[in-house]
Amino acid sequence: MGDIELNSPELFINRELSQLEFVRRVVAQAKDDTVPLLERLRFVCIASSVLDEFFEIRVAGLRQQEAYGSMQRGPDNMSPTDQLQRISPVVQEIVTEQYQILNDELIPRLDKQGIRFLREEDWNAKQKTWLKRYFNRELQPIISPVGLDPAHPFPEPLNKSLAFIVTLEGKDAFGRSSGKAIVQAPRSLPRVVRLPEESSTGPNEFVLLSSIVSAHVSSLFPGMRASGCYQFRVTRNSDLFVDEEEVDDLLRALEGELSSRRFGDAVRLEVDDDSPEELTRFLAAQFRLNPDSVIRCDGPVNLMRLAAVPDLVERPDLKYPGFTPSIPEKVRNADAMFDAIRSGDILLHHPFESFAPFVDFLRQAARDPNVLSIRQTLYRTGTDSAVVEALIDAATRGKEVLVVIELRARFDEAANIELANKLQSVGAQVVYGVVGHKTHAKMCLVIRREGRSLSRYVHLGTGNYHTRTARLYTDYGYFSCDPELSDDVQKVFQQLTAMSKEGKLKKILQAPFTLHSTVLELIDQEIANAKAKKPAAIYAKMNSLVEPQIIQALYRASQAGVKVELIVRGICALRPRVKGVSDNIRVRSIVGRFLEHTRVFCFENGGDRKVYLSSADWMGRNFFSRVETCFPITEKRMKQRVFRETIEAYLADNAQSWELNADGSYTPKQTKQNRKSAQENLLESLAEASAG
């Protein structure tokens, strides 16, 4: 079978369709009876959020390519038009299933638990009175309805904002009657309103803002009657464009672009399922969208707004059990993090183990008079961040604080601009990485005077320095004072801050320089070992696998007899189990309570296994247009631990595992007998006792 062309389009799954398969797996969590009821509601919302970003970025990009007549095709050889035609029916299917789950399963079950979403026809007299007052007090003063006529052209609703098209009968004070008006819901108000105790029959009765507006919309048009009120939402192109070769101040250029994100070209229109066809066509025409871009919603047009409900409801029995992340004994017993790190490298597996040791590490560095310098990369941190507060504290105490902030972290640009300004105001040196390359590496370097010499302590991670996501994402954090590793980290910081040439690194594999070529070399070594009858296998866990050269190398490895076990959470363009090409490749996806985010690459290496942790997925952008780090775990017991907790545990999972088929679909590999959940088992073995 050696004559098979490994670059054949038939051997590559389209990345956009693969992303939609991931959304299907998220929606499946909402159907799973083993998932607590309020968490099932959360999964419906998560799927909606993923689809939002998919349209804002991926579909928007395809539409631009189509509009410009681009003939660009990926490894699968699908044109932008081909992809858009394939995407539309799949999205319609997914959305239909979302609303079916919500309406037919979740809302009735929540109702039985006393968690109710009341429609207008369900309101009793007390509730009607309270809601009328709420409308008059909170909504009417700030809503500005627009009647459509030649003097009032169609307004431009903000990206993903709730709006209504209203049909009117009668004439206003000026004798006008266009028959249509647009009402935009204030973004400042919650989309889910809890009824007060005196007006409800239970503690958890809610009314959607859309229902409140619909019930009282006629009062916005005195003397006229609203004969219909239908919610809609438009999704816009949200990919920021900054010509990095032309700007001299990236921060100011991005600040200018952020405002345009709210009014980009429309890419999707969601409308109320009851909206008459004539009105739906009218709306689509206003946004210059074809029928394939219109989605009818049998319920709230923005399901993500329901994500607030689980947090508003005090029902621990309907949520995942709480837990307390553990802190390793070695860290607990040390007087300071520096002492703990000097006694040996430390590996933390989040969220099962706490992120607090890293925060403590920074806080202690800020207050330690012997610490001279702190260098840190920040990609996503959140605005109220303990990490940022520690860096601010260090800067105000006179430490040399250098922070590399990635301003172009998608949808966190505004927060990162605010963060940059805050750090600069206290004297921290802030840089924005390298033009043309996002700084995605997760690194921290602390330089400390110890006796007559300077010692360096590093932290490297697979995930962001974000205290909240450290409880929601699986990631590794690694502390070391190894001189070679520390020297590598310092060199990478020098590259990011000064215009220095690529320095040769001893341990770290770095994108865009050595990571891609070294991964190919490691795969080729497994091929050579297999041919030499030595132990040969590749185990890799990541978020996405797309890069064509890596995929072709994995196909060659499979053809040579190398066992390839891949755990890919989201997008995977590789086709497994293709006869003569990928017979020895198996791809699994785990979707569960925590978002799988660890990147772990293991190569059998003839029996002397190599284990790497990385900030990078196997995607073109990670290899060639981002600054990434991939670092080896060399201590024997730590290597065994990473392999056991990340590879063995996830390959054995039969509770939340899906297997990728050659046609791009996924088959659930789940059983109720002898159930093994990698996430649940890691919680049990690593986290402290349940917090209730």
Alpha carbons 678 and 685: distance in angstroms, whole number? 10
Q: Give the tokens for residue 465.
A: 């320095």
**What is the full DSSP assignment across 307-368?**
GHHHHH---GGGSPPPB--B--HHHHTSSSHHHHHHTS-EEEEETTB-SHHHHHHHHHHHH-
Cα separations (Å) of 599 from 582, 629, 650? 22, 11, 13
Nearest to 410 by CA among 666, 54, 172: 54
Catalytic residue among 350, 440, 459, 516, which? 440
333: Cα within 13 Å, side-chain hemisphere: 4
Residue 473 dihedral angles phi and psi, to the nearest 5°:
-110, 145
Q: What is the DSSP string of 116-150?
A: EE--GGG--HHHHHHHHHHIIIIITTT---EE-BT
Residue type at position 675: R
> What are the phi and psi torsion angles at 594 (to 5°)?
-105, 150
Nearest to 569 by CA among 500, 488, 473, 494: 473
Chain position carrying tokens 């038009």: 81
Task: Please state, in angstroms and rounded to a whole number, the distance separating the CA atoms of residues 328 and 345.
Answer: 12
Beta strands in 358-464 (DSSP E): 371-378, 400-405, 429-431, 438-439, 443-450, 453-461
Per the CB < 8 A criterion, the answer to whether 372 and 400 are in contact is yes
DSSP secondary-structure letter at 643? I
**Does residue 459 carry a catalytic annotation?**
no
β 473-480/595-596 pair status: parallel
CA–CA distance, 570 with 545 (Å, rounded to integer): 8
Q: Which residues pair with 603 in a beta bridge?
A: 538, 610
The DSSP code for 654 is -
Whether the ω angle into residue 196 lies within 30 degrees of 0, i.e. cis, is no
- Catalytic residue numbers read 440
